[in-house]
Amino acid sequence: MKGLKTRSAILDHAADLASVEGLEGLTIGRLADELQMSKSGLFAHFGSKEELQLATIEIARERFMTEVFKPALGTERGYPRLVAICRGWLDYIQRNVFSGGCFFAAASFEFDGRSGPVRDAIKKTMDEWIGAIEKAVRLAVDEGHFGPDVEPAQIAFEINAIFFGANYAYNMRHDKRAITRAWNAIETRLEGLRQSPRPARFAHPEKRVARRRAS
Amino acid sequence: MKGLKTRSAILDHAADLASVEGLEGLTIGRLADELQMSKSGLFAHFGSKEELQLATIEIARERFMTEVFKPALGTERGYPRLVAICRGWLDYIQRNVFSGGCFFAAASFEFDGRSGPVRDAIKKTMDEWIGAIEKAVRLAVDEGHFGPDVEPAQIAFEINAIFFGANYAYNMRHDKRAITRAWNAIETRLEGLRQSPRPARFAHPEKRVARRRAS
């Protein structure tokens, strides 16, 4: 069966391998050993190490979005969706979606001092992710769940930081309380930003109508 | 002058190189190229890649402690020292003490999925550092700056997470506001934990005596 693995099966394996050993260690030779494929078979799929790295980032991005981000989009926008994103991320770490912890946390810290297309691809995915958190915070402001002075970029920075801290504590320290600590930190922060429900005169027009009808 | 560099000059260079390219990429051959030394000259200092990695971690630890932790010990214990540690860390990132950002953040995320002596050495240094933050929080509780219900391990987890987030935003995103955002996050959190000065009847005995004498 040598050489008969599909491109996506190869890349799935590559993403897990890179999450453990780093993207820089992801060579065609190393992957061929792991998959018991010939190097020439892998070269047929990927012409170079860099091409393999970039394709691996793309499949890791898809896995991440499917596992963490997309499920949260089913939740009501504003505060509930922001909470769903955070819970989804912590759940993703506990489920060991990548063998070596969060692929993008590892890749970010591996490539933050470098330049080139691989770094750019990691940064782009992380920008997209942090932008998604930022947008969820902004919607919570728009919905009136948070006060208007809440700065989405600041809160997204903090949530992303807590994710890094959780990934570290869970995978490096094997701290059984890592997830609880991360959730406590996020909950304390977000609860502190909530504003009390608006008084009736500021409520949404439909709700006021409903209230009048009911009374 | 080939081969005449001292062990500590070699390791200083190795620590910077590893902060950019990762500890796994730190081979004797790679370092020999960088330093324009012979591989045999480096083998005389370090018998193996692993020995080189471990010695590099040790010198990075010394640099970190000298640059970040020791200066803070001169500050009054409790809340002021905790703040000094946090400011010292953020300052360390801005001063680019390692060429590629925080050596230990990079090493932690590189080795969190692995096992062996290199991982253990990184974990030990990080445990020491997080333990130092935890101790600073505990002293702030003991001094009455924080309430007795503050959990040092939780706060140390959060501060360390913000450090990771700052390192990422500063080095990967080149976010000019990274340091300000990190400081805002830490200040908001720590200020929220402060308790008002205790009323006179709870003050330290000597202070009560002094107060009586003064009156």
Q: Chain A within 8 Å of B179 (Cβ-Cβ)?
A: no
Q: What is the pLDDT of residue A167?
A: 96
> Between chains, do B99 and A114 touch, taking CB under 8 Å as contact?
no
Query: What integer is the mean pLDDT of A8-36?
Result: 93
Q: Percent of chain B, pLDDT > 70?
A: 89
Residue-wise pLDDT tens digits, A45-97: 899 999 999 999 999 999 999 999 999 999 999 999 999 999 999 999 999 99
Q: What is the pLDDT of residue A195?
A: 84
> Between chains, do A109 and B110 touch, taking CB under 8 Å as contact?
yes
- The rounded distance, in Å, linking the Cα atoms of B30 and A24 is 14
What DSSP character marks residue B201? G
For helices B49-64 and B103-111, angle between their N-to-C axes, nearest 10 degrees? 140
Closest by CA position to B175, among listed B111, B72, B94, B110 = B94
Of A109, A119, A185, the CB nearest to B105: A109
Q: Using CA coordinates, name the residue in chain B closest to A174.
A: B112
Residues of chain A positioned with their CB less than 8 A from the CB of B106: 109-110, 112-113
Q: Which of 57-96 (A) contact B at CB < 8 A?
A: none
Q: Percent of chain A, pLDDT > 70?
A: 89
Q: What is the pLDDT of residue B5?
A: 76
Neighbouring CB atoms inside 10 A of A85's CB total 23
Q: Using CA coordinates, name the residue in chain B closest to A102.
A: B109
Residue-wise pLDDT tens digits, A118-143: 999 999 999 999 999 999 999 999 99
Structure tokens at B65: 């402690």
By 3-state DSSP, what share of chain B in percent is helix, strand and coil, each rounded to 5? 70, 0, 25
Question: At B52, which helix (H) or strand (E)?
Answer: helix B49-64
Residues of chain B positioned with their CB less than 8 A from the CB of A108: 109, 168, 172
> Between chains, do A127 and B20 touch, taking CB under 8 Å as contact?
no
Alpha helices in chain A (DSSP H): 7-21, 28-35, 39-45, 49-64, 70-72, 79-94, 103-111, 117-142, 152-171, 178-193, 205-214
How many angstroms separate the CA of residue B162 from the nearest CA in chain A? 5
Amino acid identity of B114? R
Interface test with B, best of A16, A172, A187 (most B CBs within 10 A): A172
Please calculate the CA angle B111-B100-B178 and round it to the nearest 5 degrees: 100
Q: Which residues does A53 contact at the CB level (< 8 Å), separation at least 6?
A: A18, A23, A26, A118
- The rounded distance, in Å, linking the Cα atoms of B109 and B118 is 13
Global pTM reads 0.88
| B4 has a pLDDT exceeding 80 | no
Of A105, A110, A158, the CB nearest to B185: A158
Q: What is the pLDDT of residue A90?
A: 97
Rounded alpha-carbon distances, angstroms, from residue A207 to A72, A201, B29 = 26, 10, 71
> Between chains, do A164 and B165 touch, taking CB under 8 Å as contact?
yes
Amino acid identity of A203? A
Q: What is the pLDDT of residue A41?
A: 87
Residue-wise pLDDT tens digits, B109-151: 999 989 999 999 999 999 999 999 999 999 999 999 999 999 9
Which residues are paired to A194 by β-bridges? A146
Alpha helices in B65-177 (DSSP H): 70-72, 79-94, 103-111, 117-142, 152-171
Write down the mean pLDDT value for chain A. Answer: 90
- The rounded distance, in Å, linking the Cα atoms of B89 and A7 is 44
Burial of B70 (0-12, 13-18, 19+ CB in 10 A): exposed
Closest by CA position to A136, among listed A89, A203, A196, A188 = A89
User: Coil, helix or strand for A5?
Assistant: coil
Structure tokens at A85: 């994103």
Compute φ and ψ for A194, nearest 5 degrees. -70, 140
| A29 has a pLDDT exceeding 80 | yes
Closest by CA position to B108, among listed B65, B161, B176, B30 = B161
Neighbouring CB atoms inside 10 A of A116's CB total 10
Which residues are paired to A146 by β-bridges? A194
How many angstroms separate the CA of residue A66 from the nearest CA in chain B? 23
Residue-wise pLDDT tens digits, B145-201: 999 999 999 999 999 999 999 999 999 999 989 999 999 999 999 999 998 655 444
> Between chains, do B165 and A169 touch, taking CB under 8 Å as contact?
no
> Between chains, do A160 and B171 touch, taking CB under 8 Å as contact?
no
ipTM value: 0.87
Task: Considering only CA atoms, give the Rg of chain B.
Answer: 21
> Between chains, do A160 and B157 touch, taking CB under 8 Å as contact?
no
What DSSP character marks residue A202? G
Of A32-36, A116-120, B85-89, B123-127, where does mean pLDDT reach its minimum?
Answer: A32-36
- The rounded distance, in Å, linking the Cα atoms of A169 and A163 is 10
Residue-wise pLDDT tens digits, A145-201: 999 999 999 999 999 999 999 999 999 999 989 999 999 999 999 999 998 665 444
Query: What integer is the mean pLDDT of A201-206?
Result: 46
Query: What is the pLDDT confidence band of residue B203, given thresholds at 50, 70 and 90?
Result: very low
For tokens 């692929």, name the residue: A103
| A37 has a pLDDT exceeding 50 | yes
Q: Using CA coordinates, name the residue in chain B closest to A162.
A: B161
Q: Which residues does B206 contact at the CB level (< 8 Å), separation at least 6?
A: none
Q: How many residues does chain B have?
A: 215
> Between chains, do A185 and B111 touch, taking CB under 8 Å as contact?
no
Residue-wise pLDDT tens digits, B36-77: 999 998 988 899 999 999 999 999 999 999 999 999 999 999
> Between chains, do B164 and A169 touch, taking CB under 8 Å as contact?
no
Question: Using a CB cutoff of 8 Å and minimum separation of 24, what contacts does A130-136 make?
Answer: A130/A156, A130/A157, A130/A160, A131/A156, A132/A69, A132/A85, A133/A82, A133/A85, A133/A159, A133/A160, A136/A72, A136/A77, A136/A81, A136/A82, A136/A85
Write down the mean pLDDT value for chain B. Answer: 90
What DSSP character marks residue B46? -
> Between chains, do A173 and B127 touch, taking CB under 8 Å as contact?
yes
User: Coil, helix or strand for B34?
Assistant: helix
Burial of B81 (0-12, 13-18, 19+ CB in 10 A): buried
